[in-house]
Amino acid sequence: MSDADRIRLSAEALSLQDDGVRDKPDAKANVFADLGSPVSPLCARAASSSSSSRSGKSLPPSNAGPAGGRSDSGELVAESNPPRLTAHRRCGSGPLIFSGSSSSSRTGGGGGVGGDHGSTASSPMLNALPAGNICPSGRVPGPASAPLPPRSRSDVLGSGTGHYGHGSVMRGTPRTPARSSIDAPPSFPSRSPVSSLGSSASIQEVTHLGNECYRKGKYAEALRHYDRAVSLCPDSASCRGNRAAALIGLGRLTDALRECEEAVRLDQASGSAHSRLANLCLRLGMLDKARWHFTKAEHLQHPDPTGWQKLLEVEVHVGRSIAARKIGDWKSAVREADAAIAAGADSAPLLLGLRSEALLRLHKLEEADSTLASLLKLESALPSLTAEKRIGMLAAAYVHVVRAQVDMALGRFDTAVAAAEKSRDLDPGNAEVGMNLNNVRLVAGARAQGNKLFSAAKFSDASIAYGEGLKYDPFNSVLYCNRAACWSKLDRWSKAVDDCNAALRIRPNYTKALLRRAASYAKLERWADCVRDYEVLRKELPSDKEVAEALFHAQVALKATRGEDVSNMKFGGEVEIVTNAEQLHAAIGSPGAFVVYFMSSMNQQCTQITPSVNTLCTECPSVNFLKVNVDNSPMIAKAENVRVVPTFKIYKDGVKVKEMICPSLQVLRYSVRHYSVASS
Q: Give the β-pairing of 647-652 and 623-629.
A: unpaired
Pairwise CA distance, residues 101 & 15, whole Å: 17
Bridge partners of 478? Answer: none
Query: What is the pLDDT, as a whole number, of residue 587?
Result: 86
Q: What is the CATH number of the domain that holds 383?
A: 1.25.40.10
Last residue of a domain, one of 382, 407, 441: 441
**Structural domains in the chain (count):** 4
Q: Answer with the one of 138, 172, 206 that is the final residue of a domain.
A: 172
CA 258/CA 347 separation, integer angstroms? 16
Chain mean position to CA 59: 65
Question: Is 15 in the same domain as 29?
Answer: yes
Question: Is the same domain home to 299 and 278?
Answer: yes
Report the pLDDT value the prediction gives residue 392, as an integer from 0 to 100.
Answer: 82
Neighbours of 93 (CB within 10 A): 6
The residue range of the domain holding 254 is 195-303
Residue 272 belongs to some domain of the structure = yes
Structural domain ending residue among the three candidates 268, 303, 338: 303
On whether both 137 and 234 belong to a single domain, the answer is no
Q: What distance in Å separates the CA atoms of residue 171 and residue 218, rounded to the nearest whole number? A: 33
Mean predicted lDDT score pLDDT of the chain: 75
- 537 is a domain residue: no
Is the same domain home to 334 and 381?
yes
pLDDT at 386: 53
CA atoms within 13 A on the CB side of 441: 9
| pLDDT band of 225, cuts 50, 70, 90 | very high
pTM of structure: 0.58
Q: Are residues 334 and 398 in the same domain?
A: yes
- Kindly state the average pLDDT of the residues 112-139: 40
pLDDT over 90 (residue 266): yes
Asked whether the beta carbons of 87 and 11 are under 8 A apart, the reply is yes
For residue 655, give the DSSP letter: E
* Spatial contact of 418 and 424, defined as CB atoms under 8 Å apart: no
Q: Are residues 653 and 672 in the same domain?
A: yes
DSSP code string of 405-464: HHHHHTT-HHHHHHHHHHHHHHSTT-HHHHHHHHHHHHHHHHHHHHHHHHHTT-HHHHHH
379 falls within a domain: yes
Identify whether residues 217 and 296 lie together within a single domain. yes
Q: What is the CATH number of the domain that holds 619?
A: 3.40.30.10
Instruction: Write the single-letter amino acid at 528.
Output: A
Predicted confidence (pLDDT) per residue in 521-550, tens digit: 999 999 999 999 998 998 888 778 788 888
**Confidence grade of residue 5 (pLDDT, cut at 50, 70, 90):** low
Amino acid at 123: S
Residue 272 Ramachandran class (φ > 0 left, ψ -120 to 50 alpha, else beta) = alpha
pLDDT in tens, 478-518: 999 999 999 999 999 999 999 999 999 999 889 999 999 99
Residue 529 is assigned to a structural domain of this protein: no
Q: Which 3-state string (H, E, C) describes 348-386? A: CHHHHHHHHHHHHHCCCHHHHHHHHHHHHHHHHHHHHHC
Mapped onto helix, strand or coil, the DSSP state of residue 299 is helix
- Same domain? For 323 and 413 the reply is yes
